[in-house]
């Protein structure tokens, strides 16, 4: 009886990761939850971009518009793009995606088509995206200028806002790099597409929209996820230390 009781009390105190006298976290709490959080973040980023089908979802309406413009009226070309966006949205909902995630592209195409129809210019179909890229680049640049890179601010907010991530040099560098990558993507989008817009090349705008859209966004997302994971590994393991001392 004494041997069995001794064995039962010793076993929980010998965890190779947390050390002696530290209870093993149950239900994904404590350090284990902190380690799993970056994985959830990466999945959220991929889901937000539409997963592996994201490039198809974002480019088909644009390709349909650009392909229809030379052979038909502007109204019909806009209708082609909108029909493609609606069909893709319905398909995504059929696959189980949430309504806003699935139909977000429909709202974007409708807004772009509305601007193009109002001005009567096919190139203005891309106008919202061009100026949205500029606005995003200015915002991201401002966070770098004031030494509070946007990705670090977001990471800290998601983790309760209680971490001195700016005081940790490797974490600060990671978020400077991640935020700089986001800035480069947004600025590059604006420069290339604005130049093509001024040149009056609808086909060029469609190609640029495809090449500077999902692929560059995915690249920036990978850098951001890396920065989040690096900061999480450096700063969040300190959270369970009070229980270890107890």
DSSP-assigned states of every residue in the chain: -HHHHHHHHHGGG-BTTTBTT-PPP-SS-THHHHHHHHHHHHHHHHHHTTGGGHHHHHHHHHHHHHHHGGGS-HHHHHHHHHHHHHHHHHHHHHTT--HHHHHHHHHHHHHHHHHHHHHT-GGGGGHHHHHHHHHHHHHHHHHHHTT--HHHHHHHHHTTT---GGGSHHHHHHHHHHHHHHHHHHHHHHHHHHHHHHHT-HHHHHHHHHHSSHHHHHHHHHHHHHHHHHHHHHHGGGTTHHHHH-
**pLDDT (average), residues 15-25:** 45
Least confident of 21-25, 182-186, 201-205: 21-25
How many Cα neighbours within 13 Å face the side chain of 79? 5
Is residue 96 scored above 50 in pLDDT?
yes
Per-residue pLDDT tens digits for 68-94:
988 889 999 999 999 999 998 888 888
Q: What does the pLDDT average to over 114-122?
A: 94
Identify the pLDDT of residue 180. 96
pLDDT above 90 for 38: no
Structure confidence at residue 46 as a pLDDT band (50, 70, 90) = low
- Whether 10 has a pLDDT exceeding 70, the answer reads no
Looking at residue 185, its pLDDT comes to: 94
- Strand-pairing partners, residue 15, are 19
* Residue 25: burial class (beta carbons within 10 Å; 0-12, 13-18, 19+): middle
| pLDDT of res. 197 | 93
Please indicate, yes or no, whether the overall pTM of this predicted structure exceeds 0.75: no
């Amino acid at each position: 009886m004494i041997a069995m009781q001794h064995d039962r009390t010793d076993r929980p105190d010998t965890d190779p990761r947390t050390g002696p006298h530290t209870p093993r976290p149950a239900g994904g709490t404590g350090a284990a939850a902190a380690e799993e959080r970056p994985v959830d973040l990466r999945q959220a980023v991929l889901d937000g971009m539409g997963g592996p089908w994201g490039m198809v979802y974002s480019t088909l309406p644009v390709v349909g518009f650009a392909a229809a413009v030379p052979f038909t009226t502007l109204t019909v070309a806009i209708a082609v793009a909108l029909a493609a966006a609606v069909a893709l949205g319905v398909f995504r909902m059929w696959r189980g995606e949430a309504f806003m995630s699935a139909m977000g592209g429909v709202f974007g195409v409708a807004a772009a088509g509305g601007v193009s129809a109002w001005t009567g210019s096919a190139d203005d179909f891309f106008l919202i995206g061009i100026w949205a890229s500029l606005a995003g680049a200015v915002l991201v640049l401002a966070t770098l200028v004031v030494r509070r890179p946007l990705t670090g601010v977001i990471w800290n907010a998601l983790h309760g806002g209680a971490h001195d991530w700016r005081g940790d040099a490797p974490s600060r560098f990671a978020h400077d790099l991640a935020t700089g990558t986001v800035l480069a993507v947004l600025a590059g989008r604006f420069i290339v597409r604005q130049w093509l817009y001024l040149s009056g090349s609808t086909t060029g705008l469609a190609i640029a929209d495809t090449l500077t859209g999902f692929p560059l966004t995915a690249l920036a997302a990978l850098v951001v996820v890396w920065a989040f994971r690096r900061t999480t590994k450096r700063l969040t393991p300190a959270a369970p230390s009070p229980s270890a001392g107890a």
